[in-house]
Amino acid sequence: MTESNVTGGPAGFDAVLFDFGGVFIDSPFAVAEAAAAKLGLHPDELMAVVFGPYDSDTDHPWHRLERGELSFDAARDEIRRLSLGAGTVELDPMAVLAELGSGGRGVREFMVDVVRDVRSTGVRTGVVTNNIAEFAEYWRPMIPLDELFDDVVDSSQVGLRKPDPAIYLLACERLSVDPARTVFVDDFDGNVVGAEAVGMVGVACGWTRESSAEAALVLRGLLGLAGA
């Protein structure tokens, strides 16, 4: 978290932007780590093949998929070929993510409560998610998006993905807020760094439910909310 941009407690912020996966539900990166262990691979090896260098925005098939440039089936085929070319077992991204949301822990309601409390102060809220078009029907109904957020920026719809500075600036433009008066919450450190690079205050929530709960307390503290 970068606190140097804080400009005066709750009144210093006009908006809070949240990632979706890893903030409101289990992190896909934690699931990928578990999948790597089952396959006898180092997590970094699996992540590089399936998701590419995730702290960059590249032409890796998963990145193109998240920007809406490839269909899921086309990206899946390319990733399978990449895995074989890298000398690992054939990696299917659907199999890697199969356990996402199946751990019985569901939505992190404490983070939903934070959003409601943020909104009660008059601060605007939004989602900025790297996602894919084919998954929209599954993740969007998981929480009441229209009730909780003023806007949702989905990478597959806007053709941009984190950590490209343009997606953070677009999210702020759509909410008519200054990045310097905006907090950004994400489970992936590289995405938080990207937000901080455009002037936002970043809160990294980590990949676990416990670290996410700690981040929720940090966010409450930044905004002067009860429960901090």
Beta carbons within 8 Å of 86's beta carbon, 6+ residues apart: 45, 48, 49
Q: pLDDT at position 146, please?
A: 96
Instruction: Give the per-residue pLDDT at 222.
Output: 94
Give the pLDDT confidence score for residue 33 in this predicted structure.
87
Domain boundaries, the chain: 9-26+107-223, 28-96
pLDDT, residue 99, reads 63
CA distance 23 to 209: 8
Two tokens, residue 139: 């993740």
Cα(204)–Cα(186) distance, rounded to whole angstroms? 5
CA distances from 165 to 8, 115, 155, 199 (A): 25, 24, 12, 10
pLDDT value at position 228? 65
For residue 57, what pLDDT is reported?
Answer: 96
**What is the structure's pLDDT at 219?**
96
Q: Tell me the CATH class for 9-26+107-223.
A: alpha beta
The whole-model pTM stands at 0.90
Task: Give pLDDT, residue 183.
Answer: 98
125 close to 149: Cβ distance less than 8 angstroms = yes
- Contact present, 219 and 114 (Cβ < 8 Å): yes
pLDDT, tens digit only, all 228 positions of the chain:
333 333 333 448 999 999 999 999 988 888 888 888 888 889 899 999 999 999 999 999 999 999 999 999 999 999 999 998 888 888 888 888 876 655 445 899 999 999 999 999 999 999 999 999 999 999 999 999 999 999 999 999 999 999 999 999 999 999 999 999 999 999 999 999 999 999 999 999 999 999 999 999 999 999 999 876
Q: How far is it, in rounded angstroms, from Cα 208 to Cα 96?
A: 17
Phi, psi of 165, deg, nearest 5: -55, -30
- Distance (Å, whole) CA 72 – CA 53: 18
